[in-house]
Structure 1
Amino acid sequence: MKILIIEDEIRAVSQLQLVLKTCRFNYELLDIIDTVEDAVIWFEENESPDLVFMDIQLADGLSFEIFQNTTVDAPIIFTTAFDQYAIQAFKVNSVDYLLKPIQKDDLSKALDKFLKSNNSSKVNASVLKQLLSDLQIPSQREGMLVKSGKGFVQIKISDLLYYYSEDSITFGVTQSKRFIIEETLDELYSTLDQTKFFKINRGQIVAKSSVEKISPYFNHRVKLTIDNPRDQEFIVSRPKTSDFKNWMNK
């Protein structure tokens, strides 16, 4: 049985493999992928595995985005630490879903369901597309606290041109200043109005109003000219390029 693991947490990978061993499930591990971008490339360059264990929240976005950018002809067992994602993933015809930390009994039941399905259960891509849209309901957040000297000040979300992560620190940039933000990029993005902000890759979020020009870039990507770039390069990752263009066109 050839399996693929799509998971961005090393501990979660180790724990899954340990529980698979206790279930006496014989398998060949093809690869471990930790991002949406790398998963899209892997599926385009390799034959389909017999089964995929897929975490829902990856380093550069929701794993549902994989299905928007490539064809996945394999049964999926979703894994997640978040109940709301688990319930939604279950509704899109995956083989099953597992809540972290994964328990032996839950995994055994999921594997049994997979084997009884004759290995033929596939994810419904059209339902996933609607699900992804539902998960991106715009937030009404208007401001945020940022570090300023020894204290904090509040700035308007509308003043931010872009955000980026560097050395595990999140920064927000306005026309005149750069601020340190005490949130991870993923935590921050989940609170933003996603009709106005787009996470172009695992380390950058841009405001639509800050994009001055979009230029072709190698490997089917695009490069952005952004207002006040501060020595940053803005390159939209390949899996996100199509969605980014559609987003800019709205």
Structure 2
Amino acid sequence: MRVLIIEDEKPAGRHIANLLKRYDASIEVEGALGSVKKSVEWFNSNPHPDLALMDIQLADGLSFEIFENTKVDCPVIFTTAFNEYAIRAFKVNSVDYLLKPIDFEELGTALDKFKKNFRNFDQSKYNLMFDKVMQSLTDQYKQRFVIKVGEHIKSVAVENILYFFSLEKATFIHTSDDHNYVIDYSLEQVESLLDPQRFFRINRKYIVSLPAIDDIITYSNSRLKLELKHLNDPDAIVAREKVNNFKQWLDR
């Protein structure tokens, strides 16, 4: 059996490969591929595997986009850190999943299910299933943030937010009309609520949208400095460990 791993975190990819070999030493492991772009290229130029294990959130988007850009003739087990709402969608649509961190028992159960139920693969039914799950996941991303302005409560749509930033233990949004507002979320919480296609966490202080970026400048220690709209902040720097993923996010 040939199994393709699609996972943008190399340690996680190695961990999955080791678990697969532990389950069945005869399994041929392909990958790991870390992006939607590389995965599409792989499926376009290689014989398709018997099974693919895909992380949902890759460096340049959701793994569901692979199916929008190429034909995938194999069943998929997803690995996910998404919340229970997403997991329920997988259950309803009979798509198996592994909740990170993955352990051997869970992987074994998923592989047993694959052997029992997915030998006769129906591409048309699977495509319909992916459409439903993709819609379910898309609906989860936060669309608006509530802010307080004096004695007034307002709601700001995410498309009007250029970036999020933290300052003195508070989290702010900066809007396209050049205003800052405090929100009742940590930056970590905000990151988990946003569509990764629209926003990128560049460092501990900033989550930015593409329209927020006026310029990108090469910086010391293989980092990148961003010039953001309405802002002159020396801390608007893409952390070195995030530079590759940031470039992939730009190159979609």
Same fold (TM over 0.5): yes
Instruction: Output aligned runs, 1:180-199, within 5 Å.
Output: 183=187, 188=190, 191-192=193-194, 199=198
CA RMSD of aligned residues (A): 4.2
**After superposition, what is the alpha-carbon deviation per residue over 1:195-235, rounded to whole angstroms, capped at 9, x for unaligned?**
xx95289977335xx79xxxxxxxxxxxxxx989x9xxx99
Normalised to the residue count of structure 1, the TM-score between the two structures is: 0.60
Aligned partners of 1:188, 1:83: CA distance in 2, in Å?
14
Aligned partners of 1:129, 1:103: CA distance in 2, in Å?
28
Shift of 1:190: 5.0
Aligned partners of 2:80, 2:118: CA distance in 1, in Å?
24
Structure 1, unaligned runs of 5 or more: 161-173, 176-181, 212-225, 239-250
Q: 2:137 matched to which residue of 1?
A: 135
Q: 1:117 matched to which residue of 2?
A: 117
Normalised to the residue count of structure 2, the TM-score between the two structures is: 0.59
SS of match in other structure, 2:175: helix
Q: Percent identity, please.
A: 33
The one-letter code of the counterpart of 1:8 is D
Instruction: Output aligned runs, 1:43-82, within 5 Å.
Output: 43-82=43-82
Q: Residues 52 and 227 of structure 1: is their aligned pair in 2 closer, same or farther, counting only changes over 3 Å?
A: same
**After superposition, what is the alpha-carbon deviation per residue over 1:59-91, rounded to whole angstroms, capped at 9, x for unaligned?**
222212222222111011112233533332343
Q: 1:158 matched to which residue of 2?
A: 175
The one-letter code of the counterpart of 1:76 is V
Instruction: Output aligned runs, 1:79-90, within 5 Å.
Output: 79-84=79-84, 85-90=86-91
Aligned partners of 2:108, 2:47: CA distance in 1, in Å?
26
Whether 1:146 and 2:147 are equivalent positions in the alignment is no
The one-letter code of the counterpart of 1:117 is N
**After superposition, what is the alpha-carbon deviation per residue over 1:26-46, rounded to whole angstroms, capped at 9, x for unaligned?**
111222111122212221222
SS of match in other structure, 1:40: helix
The 8 Å contact of residues 60 and 201 in structure 1, kept in 2 or not, is answered as no
Quick check: which one's helix share is greater?
2
